[in-house]
Amino acid sequence: MRTAPTILHLDMDAFFASVEQASKPSLRGKAVVVGGLGPRGVVATCSYEARVFGVHSAMPMGQARRLAPHAAYLVPRFELYRSISEQVMRLLRELSPLVEPLSLDEAFVDLEAGGVARDAESARGAGEKLRAAIRTVTGLTGSVGLAASKMLAKIASEQAKPDGLVLIPPGTERAMLEPMTVRTLPGVGPATGDHLRRAGITTVGEIAEAGEDELVRLLGKAHGHALYAMALARDERPVVAERETKSVSVEDTYDVDIHDRVRVGVEVGRLADRCVRRLRASGLSGRTIVLKVRRYDFSTLTRSETLRGPTDDPAVVREAAARLLDSVDTTGGVRLLGVGVSGLADYTQEDLFAQAAGDRAEEPAEETEAEPAEEHRPSPAERRWPAGHDVRHTELGHGWVQGSGLGRVTVRFETPYSQVGRVRTFPVDDPELSPADPLPLVAEPEGGAAQPSSLPLPLPASLPKSWSGGGGAAATSKP
């Protein structure tokens, strides 16, 4: 393991909810919950104000509404979240060529590989400048952990939340870990935690005291060895810049169980087309088609079929998924369907086109995407107004949907740079109201020039021991 805390873990604070609060002045400081709003929706994330009421990620939305009935409940805007994530990842890549994204709002950075840190003082300076740059560029906050390993850096960023920085000095790792609960360690979920608790092991220190042989007896060889090493603060995993994509998939959860077998088949075909579009957008193809079916009783079935070679042809994927569906009993209803492609490659094999049943010459691969948009565009009366999404009124300007129903839509007219805006209600088919693209969270400066990132420059060949990376502010403790 390293002798300096030069591995950084960034975790953006309540990312989706923070984006919504930054874009909507009326929600700042308020409880905000983002996720699926249907009867079977779950919480994707929530603001810290909502967490006070016990709301948390992955909670059923119905339970969240009971705990926090006065919170704002919004539909995710993933395109906006991705664009802001790209801004953050660009800042990270200014620090180092070794950036390992874990999700839209989380990543590891090897500061040593970027030449911006080689001791605790310079690492802290780099972390503080990164936090300031993120706030300048996106208007959001992120928590930073710094340590000599990935596991400890992630634990440190969790301790730093929200909007803080925690650095674990090398040599103090064991003492810091010992009193922590076993659930602190990666890979210890509720089941493993309960198993260890029944054996009298509740803290990381007790894991180390139990010894490797006892952990192997309790958890098996692989898990026991790994857990013992983590309890001793051993983690040699490097920061990996490129994480290989293993599969591409899409799935939908339905508010009401689907009982009609024909409708199930139509949904599978639609999911297959979406999966192929995502596959092509990534420049990939795949050999194995996977179908996922969750039935009315929550039992989940997966079926797969491996082709002779990789393909990105929608008809091949559709028909393979349809064949897989034939082997699944959907009696009683289906609550979730998914289609995926694995065994990925960056090329296709033309002779696979023959695997699709029937005469394919009459069905061009691009037909579904080439149909005139006008034929699919809903009439104004059919327009949906998802809560939280952006709209524009020809006279009143930019706003966002507070809610809709009973033929009406309620809009609050405000922008990320305005004061709290006023609320107006319109018929859902009002011709002056239309969907709009999100506005940037931070207004561009005069002249449209990009904001400077203020990230630290690479270190010179040698530095005095007192160098602090441009200020080196003291670590911020968790509120």
Residue numbers in the known binding site are 11, 105
What b/e string do you get for 424-462 counting C-beta neighbours within 10 Å, with b at 16 or more? eebebebeebeeeebebbbeeeeeeeeeebebbeebeee
Cβ neighbours of residue 237 closer than 8 Å, sequence gap 6 or more: 149, 150, 151
Beta strands in 192-333 (DSSP E): 247-258, 285-295, 300-311
Query: Which of 194, 280, 185 is closest to 223 using CA atoms?
Result: 185
Query: Which of 25, 6, 22, 5 is closest to 14 using CA atoms?
Result: 22
- How far is Cα 367 from Cα 371, in angstroms, rounded to an integer? 6
- How far is Cα 105 from Cα 34, in angstroms, rounded to an integer? 15
- How far is Cα 146 from Cα 134, in angstroms, rounded to an integer? 17
The catalytically annotated residue of 106, 128, 319, 414 is 106
Amino acid residing at 227: L
- How far is Cα 89 from Cα 256, in angstroms, rounded to an integer? 38
Long-range contacts of 255-263 (CB under 8 A, 24+ apart): 255/38, 255/39, 255/40, 256/39, 257/296, 257/332, 257/333, 257/334, 257/335, 258/330, 258/333, 258/334, 258/335, 258/337, 259/330, 259/332, 259/333, 259/334, 261/330
Beta strands in 408-469 (DSSP E): 408-413, 422-427, 433-435
Q: Is-cis flag, bond preceding 440, omega within 30?
A: no
Residue with tokens 């999100």: 438
- How far is Cα 439 from Cα 432, in angstroms, rounded to an integer? 19
Residue numbers in the known binding site for Mg(2+) are 11, 105
**Alpha-helix residue ranges (DSSP H) falling in 24-172:** 48-51, 61-67, 78-95, 111-114, 120-138, 150-160
Quote the Cα angle for 421-425-430, to 5°. Answer: 115
Residue 106 annotated among the catalytic residues of the structure: yes
Q: Which residues are part of the catalytic machinery? A: 106
